Structure formats: C-alpha cells, structure tokens
Amino acid sequence: MSAGFDVCVIGSGAGGGPVAAAAAEAGYRVAVLEKGPWFDQEQFLKDEIAICRRPTFWPRKKDEPHVWEWMDKQGKRSAFLTDQFWNGNLVGGASIVMSGFFLRLKPTDFRLRSTYGPVEDADVVDWPISYDDLEPWYAQVEQDVGVSGLAWEDLPPDVLDKRSTEDMAFLPTREHPFADLIDKKGAELGLHPFPTPRAVLPEDWNGRRGCAYSNYCGSYGCRTGAKGSSLAAWLPRALATKRCEIRSRAMVTKLVSDETGKVVKAEYRDREGKLQSIEASVFVVACQAIESARLLLNSRGPKHPNGLANGSGLVGRNLLYSTFGAGWGEFRYSAYKDDRWLRSKETFINRSIQDWYHIDDPKLGKRKGGTMDFLLMHPNPIAVGLDQAFNDNVPDGRVFWGQALKDRIYDWCHEAQHLKFEIFGEWLADRRSRVTIDPYTKDRWGNQVARVHPYSHPRNRETADYLMARGLDFMRALGAENPRTVRRYGGPSTNLVAGTCRFGKDPRTSVLDPDCRAHEARNLFVTDGSFMPTAGSVPFTFTIYANARRVAARIVEQLGGPRR
C-alpha cells in the first residue's frame, strides 16, 4: 500500500498531464499511474513498421482486446475482437501521436440544443458551462503548451474566436506554398481559409527544441519535443516540483470505495503483474473515454452496485467520436511551367476552412457542420504502396503488383504532389453509442474488457456527405487532378473519442457535475474527453487540455488551495 498522496491521477495523457502539473505546482503530492511504458523522446523513431504496423504504442490484441459490437441495417448484431480503439498507451498517452491541430470549440458548441433544437433519436444537450467559462483556459494552454499560429480576424462572425489574448504564443511554423494557393482560391470563392493553430514549436523554447519539419507528426512521437504532448509540455513541470511520481506499466484494475461512496484507493497491477494499491485524498480518472468508462463500470462498491458513479446508468452512454472523412487530389509537376513551388519540401500547409461549420441548406436544413483542414499526404511508404496496390478508385477493382505496381509507386512519389483534406464533423450524441463490460472476454490480468458499440446517427453521414462534396469542389477549384475521397467515410474517427461520462447539473441525466466531479463520489474527478456531452467539430485534445486545467484549479481549491 502506498499512502500519503494528495492526488492520484490515472492516465498521463491529455486529461491527466495538466492535472498532475497543476496539483504538484500547487504544493500537493501527486501519483500518476500509467498502464503503458515510458519512452524517452529520443526513442520516437520515424519507423513505420515499428510505430504504425506493430503494437509499440498500444497493447497486443491477444493481451488487451476490445470487443467491437456492430449492428447491420437489418438489426443483426455481430462482435469481434479489435485493437482499433487504442489511441496510445504510453506515458503521455495519445497526445504523443496527435497531429496537434489546436482549434477552439465555438460558443454554439456549448449550446447545441438551444441553437439547433432537439434531434430525433439523438441525445443532444447544452453544456453546463459556456465558452466564456473555458476561454481563459484555452488562452492559458496556448501559452503553457506553446501553440503556434495567428489569431485570424477575417472570418465570419459565427466562427470568429472570441479571445482574451491578442495572438498565439508563437508565430506559425514554415508553410508549403499550397497555403498561398488555398488562400487565393478561397478568397475568389468567397471562403475564408485561415492559419491552423498547431501545438508545434517553430523554435527552441523552455527546454524543448523547435520543429525538425520531418512530416511525421500524426501517428508518431516527436523526437525534438516540439509537439506539445503531455510528455513534452505537462509532465516535466510536474516532475520538476519533486512532488510528482509517475509509475509506468501500472494497470489500474479497480477503484475501491467505502460504505459512504468515497473512493479510498486505486488497485493496480505493476510491471511484474503483482497487485498494488495507492491511497489518496482525490482520484482523477483520465484513461481515455472508453477505458475510463470500463474502469468505473468495473469498480463496484457498497454504494455503487452498478459501477462507480453510475447511479444514473449513464456511465458508458453517449460515446462520441468525430465523423471521419478525407479526400485528396494530385497536382502533377508536368502541368506547371514552373513547378518549383510545387516541389517544395516544406512540411506544413496549416490551413483550415470553417465556412461550413454551420449549415443552412434547403435539403438538410439548419444544423452543425464541421471543419476542413488541409495537409500533405502522410509519407509512410508502406501505406503508399498498399494504396497503389489496392486502389479503391480503379473502376474494375483490380489489384496491381509487379512492374505495374512499381510504376504506380514511382509515379506517386516522383511525378506529382498530393494535397489532402480532412473533415471533423459533429458526431451526434446517442445513448445507443456506448461502452459496456463484455461478459465473456478478459484481458491478461483477468479483468473484463470494454465492449464498444459506436452507433452512428443517420445525420452523421448526411453531414459528412455535405462536407465531403464541398471538399471535392474546392479541390477541383484548386486545380487538382483526379480528386477523390476515402471509400468509407461518415463513420467514427477512432483516434478521437469522448463522451461516456458526460457532465451536467442534474445527477439524473449526467455522471459528473459542472466541475467534472462525480455526483456520487465527491473525491472523484474525470478529466479526459469523457466529460464532453457533445463532440463539436474540431479535434478534441485542445479542449481536453483546457478543461483539465480548469478542473485542476477546482481540485486544488477542494484540497485547501495552493500550499506555496
């Protein structure tokens, strides 16, 4: 038994790192329990086989599976084991492998039901806090993490950020000339492209090195520390206080509560598989939305017979994603008399469009839309080869190999540049989209695993169709040849996950209060994306960071205020 900690944080990623830093800096003793290994940033190689093709940053499916439950159009259910819902199991969590798009939610994202009204068969609600409540924490995180970009003002009023600071912490990273083309063509079409804020340092700062411009951000760790992961931006601050202890390869299996409902200790398996436990005054769950729900549901107690903090029956309900969608087009060097701009080796495009964040369409009506961002195609060579061998856009569906495949790969790599767009659309909250405990499958420690049912409301696909069509239109306007989309879009983007422990004012309709404290266990907080009642239409990490810092201040208050 380890006693004497003020705060026990379970998970070291976007929801855990900011809390650990704030609590330790306020003078409190903090324990961070992380189920994954602890990598030094020099170990973050740009090796597609090691990082993307093997379970280096996530568990092996045979050891720690999830059960993916799916329902077809006829209502028939099927289930299979998967590792696709693991986003990054290591010290720093999934923030290690993020791309670092740091866009704020809009004020309407906090009042989705009030703005657009109810949606049939969906569980759309307003947040219990407003944009104004979270804005100071967005501003603080920009400075703490070192966000680069420009506070753009030439935007429609309904997507223009209301800011308390004049600009980002750093000027933008270097940009590919595609950015100028997007700006010019967007203006001609009456659109408003703007510089994408990135959690990427353009220069050395605060013990971290500036960006190396390798074009290996997404899916990879950052060897220079330029990317503002929890490992680079938050955990060093916590450790510097000498009041924070990080225990890696510590798999928390249960939170133990007493007869009053209070959490008294966290039980975990150490790297040798031995059962250990930690006592603390406050417990913070930040495992990632699926795993946080699983931990709470597996943590039954005298006052929590259906799972910790689950008196409402909502733990695991309203699982959220971002609606997935992407497309790209090719710009052939031979089509340009002077192609030097196109051959630029700059890594980042750093452009987004939010002119379709709010949709008012004769067919679709008024509804939430989404964000479109632009980037170069990822350089992973195996992925390129597979795409050229199994190409969805070949009319007869044939597979290429031999010299034909070599020719296609050569053409891709040497004869054209490829511009990609991605969409982040609103994934409507729906109680059918949920996490439960699988009654049959256990992990290597003998604990029941999460059973995940990512139900997608029909509106998600409708909105994705609309945004993807706008993306293809814009690619054609830019002059792209053969613009196309991924075949299976409109479903969940499994690297973005939220919901499952929504916050709210009413204990009957929410798991957490507005400060992300469990209604039924007042020394329990949840600070990963689980708290979000609706998804918004931007990547989640920035909002999770900001909210975790907001909640950390409440935790420090509950403990008695700063001890400095």
Whether the pLDDT of residue 407 is over 60: the answer is yes
Please list, residue by residue across 519-555, b when 16 or more beta carbons sit within 10 angstroms of its beta carbon and e when fewer do.
bbbebbbbbbbbbbbbbbbbbbbbbbbbbbbbbbbeb
- Hey, which residues does 373 pair with through a beta bridge? 352, 422
Q: What percentage of the chain has pLDDT greater than the value 70? A: 98
Distance of alpha carbon 306 from alpha carbon 47, whole angstroms: 44
| pLDDT reported for residue 491 | 85
Dmax (CA) of the chain: 77
From the list 557, 539, 414, 397, the residue with the least C-alpha distance to 14 is: 539
Rounded to an integer, what distance in angstroms lies between the CA atom of residue 356 and that of residue 366? 11
Q: What is the mean pLDDT of residues 59-83?
A: 89
**Could you count the other beta carbons within 10 Å of the beta carbon of residue 302?**
10
CATH number at residue 162: 3.50.50.60
What confidence category does residue 115 fall into, taking pLDDT thresholds of 50, 70 and 90? very high
Query: What pLDDT is recorded for position 392?
Result: 61
Q: Which residues contact 435 (CB under 8 A, 6 or more apart)?
A: 289, 290, 293, 294, 297, 316, 319, 450, 451, 452, 453, 500
For residue range 517-531, what is the model confidence (pLDDT) as tens digits?
999 999 999 999 999
* pLDDT for the residue numbered 4: 81
9-31 pLDDT tens trace = 999 999 999 999 999 999 999 99
Asked whether residue 3 carries a pLDDT value surpassing 70, the answer given is no
DSSP helix/strand/coil, 435: strand
Q: How far apart are CA 20 and CA 77, in angstroms?
A: 41
Q: Please check whether residue 88 lies inside any domain of the structure.
A: yes
Average pLDDT of the chain to the nearest whole number: 95
Tell me how far CA of residue 180 lies from CA of 4, 173, 545, in angstroms.
56, 14, 31
* Residue 1 confidence (pLDDT) above 60: no
Q: Among the listed ranges 41-50, 377-386, 482-491, which one has the minimum average pLDDT value?
A: 482-491
Cβ proximity of 372 and 421 under 8 Å? yes
Query: Looking at the domain assignment, is residue 564 inside a domain?
Result: no
Give domain status of residue 15, yes or no.
yes
| Cα–Cα distance for residue pair 519/479, rounded to 1 Å | 55
- The 3 state secondary structure assigned to 370-417 is EEEEEEECCCCHHHHHHHHHCCCCCCCCCCCCHHHHHHHHHHHHHCEE
- Residues 339-365 have pLDDT tens digits of 999 999 999 999 999 999 999 999 999
Reported residue count of the chain is 564
Banded model confidence at residue 32, pLDDT cuts 50, 70, 90:
very high
pLDDT of residue 393: 61
Confidence of residue 394 (pLDDT cuts 50, 70, 90): low
Can you give the pLDDT at residue 187? Answer: 97
Does a structural domain hold residue 284?
yes
How do the residues of the chain divide into helix, strand and coil, expressed in percent and rounded to 5?
25, 25, 50
DSSP annotation of 49? I
Sorting pLDDT into bands at 50, 70 and 90, what band is 75? confident
Q: How confident is the model at residue 494 (pLDDT cuts 50, 70, 90)?
A: confident
The whole-model pTM stands at 0.97
What pLDDT was estimated at residue 76? 80
pLDDT of residue 486: 86
Does any domain span residue 148? yes
Give the Cα separation of 547 and 133 in Å (integer). Answer: 10
Q: What is the pLDDT of residue 113?
A: 97
Per-residue pLDDT tens for 263-312?
A: 999 999 999 999 999 999 999 999 999 999 999 999 999 999 999 999 99
pLDDT 10s digits, 38-54: 999 999 999 999 999 99
For 200-239, how does the pLDDT look when each residue is reduced to its tens digit (9 = 90+)?
999 999 999 999 998 899 999 999 999 999 999 999 999 9
Question: Does the structure show a pLDDT above 90 at 464?
Answer: yes
pLDDT at 71: 76
pLDDT 10s digits, 310-328 = 999 999 999 999 998 999 9
Per the structure, the count of domains in the chain is: 1
Q: How confident is the model at residue 2 (pLDDT cuts 50, 70, 90)?
A: low
Residue-level pLDDT at 484: 92
Confidence of residue 536 (pLDDT cuts 50, 70, 90): very high
pLDDT at 150: 96
On the question of pLDDT at 331 being above 90, the answer is yes
Domain that holds residue 406: 2-559
